[in-house]
A and B are shown apart, each in its own frame.
Chain A
Amino acid sequence: MQGATIQAPGLSTYLKSLKNTPVDASVEHFISLLKRRQIRNSRPCAIATTALLLRVVAEFKGRDAAKLIERIKQVGRRLTSAQPREVVVGNIVRRVLGLVREVVDEHADGQTPNGSEPGHMAPHPQHDSLHRPALHSSISTFSPLRHAVVEPTHAGIYPDNASDVSEHSRRPPLLTSHTSYAPTSAAPLVHSLFGLFSQPADTPSNTSTPTGQASPNGKSTLTALNLERLADLHRGQSLDLKGEVMEGIRELQDELETSDKQIAEVALEHIHANEIILTHTASTTVQKFLMFAARKRSFTVVHAETYPHDHTATHGILLTGKKREANPDDDGVDKWKPLTDVGIPVYVIPDSHVFAIMSRVNKVILATHTVLANGGLVAAAGAHMIAKAAKEHQTPVVVLSGVYKLSPVYPFDIDELIEHGDAGSVVPYDDGDFVDKVDVENPLYDYVPADLVDLYITNLILADTHPRTSTASLRTTTAPKILPCSHFPKEQAL
Chain B
Amino acid sequence: MKISFNWLKEYIDLSGIDIQEVIDKVTLAGLEIEEVIDQSKMFENFVIGHVKEVKKHPNADKLHLCVVSDGVNDLKIVCGAPNVAENQKVVVAKIGAVIPENNFEISKAKIRGEESFGMLCSERELNISANHAGIFVLDNEIEAGTTAAEAIGLNDVIIEVAITPNRQDALSHIGFARDVAAIFNRPVKFPSLDINEIDEESSSLASVEILDPDLCPRYVGKVVKNVVIKESPEWLKTRLKCIGLRPINNVVDVTNFVMHEVGQPLHAFDLDYLSGSKVVVKKAGDDKSFTTLDSKKRELQANDLMICDGQKTVAIAGVMGGENSEVTVNTKNILIESAFFNPSSVRKTAKKLGLQTDASYRFERGTDPEITVWAAKRTAQLIQLTAGGEICKGEIDAYPVKFELKKVELRFERISKILGYDVPNEKVTEILTNLGFEIVSKNNESVTVAIPLRRHDVEREIDLIEELARIYGYEKIPDIERVKVTLEPKFDETAFENQVRETLNGLGFYEIITNSLLSETVSNRFGNSIGVLNPQNMDMSNLRTSLLPGMLTTISRNLKVKENNLQLFEIGKVFNKKNDVIKSFDDFSEDSMILGIITGRSIDTEWYSKDNNFDFYDLKGYVYEFLKSITDKEIEHSYKSESNQLFEYSVKLELDGEELGIIGKLNDELCGGYDIEHPVFAFNFNLEKLSSIPVEEKKFKELLKYPKVFRDLAFVIDNNITHNEVSETIKSGSSKLLHNIKLFDIFQSESLGEGKKSLAFQLEYFDETRTLTEDEVEKDFKNIIKNVEKKFNAKLRG
**A and B: partners?**
no
A residues at B contact (CB < 8 Å):
none
Chain B positions near chain A (C-beta within 8 angstroms): none
